[in-house]
């Protein structure tokens, strides 16, 4: 990454919907982020981070990558929306205290539509993987 930004500079989400602590790496089509799962997270139920939280974390990682790329190009951050989620595979639900590490890779980009592939893990192994179609509002 050429420059460091806070996550709040990269995406429009705010607490309690902020599901990325930091964009750790962003270069070319690859981006990596992390999120420490805390007990007060709105997606935690019975000590586990639920499926909807995992999907939101992945989408916000893609949004952070898009925000970073816009900012380094000298453009404002744009809003993004999940168009579809394909081939979602959730291996397990992570627990409070674990840290999600997500890597996304941009695939096809056509105008304001971007396909990304995501893989999410913790130190305890794989959590999820999927493909998402993201629409950017420019």
> In percent, how much of the chain has pLDDT > 70?
99
pLDDT at 1: 61
pLDDT tops 80 at residue 97: yes
Cα(93)–Cα(50) distance, integer angstroms = 6
Q: pTM value?
A: 0.95
pLDDT tops 80 at residue 138: no
Q: Mean pLDDT, to the nearest integer, of 100-110?
A: 96
**Location of structure tokens 């629409």:** 135
Q: Residue 32 phi/psi, 5° resolution?
A: -135, 140
pLDDT tops 90 at residue 64: yes
Residue 124, burial from CB neighbour count under 10 angstroms (0-12, 13-18, 19+): exposed
Q: What is the pLDDT of residues 20-57, one digit of tens each?
A: 999 999 999 999 999 999 999 999 999 999 999 999 99
Q: Mean pLDDT, to the nearest integer, of 84-98?
A: 97
Return the ∠ at Cα 77 (arms to 113 and 107), rounded to 5°: 30
Residue 2's pLDDT band (cuts 50, 70, 90): confident
The mean predicted confidence, pLDDT, of the chain is: 95
pLDDT at 13: 93
Sign of CA dihedral 97, 91, 21, 79: negative
Residues 6+ apart with CB under 8 A from 111: none
């Amino acid at each position: 990454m050429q420059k460091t930004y806070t996550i709040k500079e990269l995406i429009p989400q705010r607490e309690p919907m902020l599901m990325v602590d930091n964009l750790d790496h962003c270069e070319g089509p690859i981006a990596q982020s992390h999120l420490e799962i805390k007990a007060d997270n709105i997606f935690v139920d019975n000590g586990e981070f639920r499926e909807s939280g995992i999907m939101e974390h992945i989408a916000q990682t893609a949004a952070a990558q898009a925000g970073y790329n816009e900012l380094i190009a000298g453009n404002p951050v744009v809003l993004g929306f999940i168009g579809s989620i394909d081939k979602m595979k959730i291996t397990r639900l992570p627990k409070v205290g674990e840290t999600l590490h997500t890597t996304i890779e941009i695939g096809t980009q056509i105008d304001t539509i971007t396909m990304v592939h995501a893989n999410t893990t913790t130190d305890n192994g794989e959590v999820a993987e999927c493909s998402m179609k993201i629409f950017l509002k420019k």
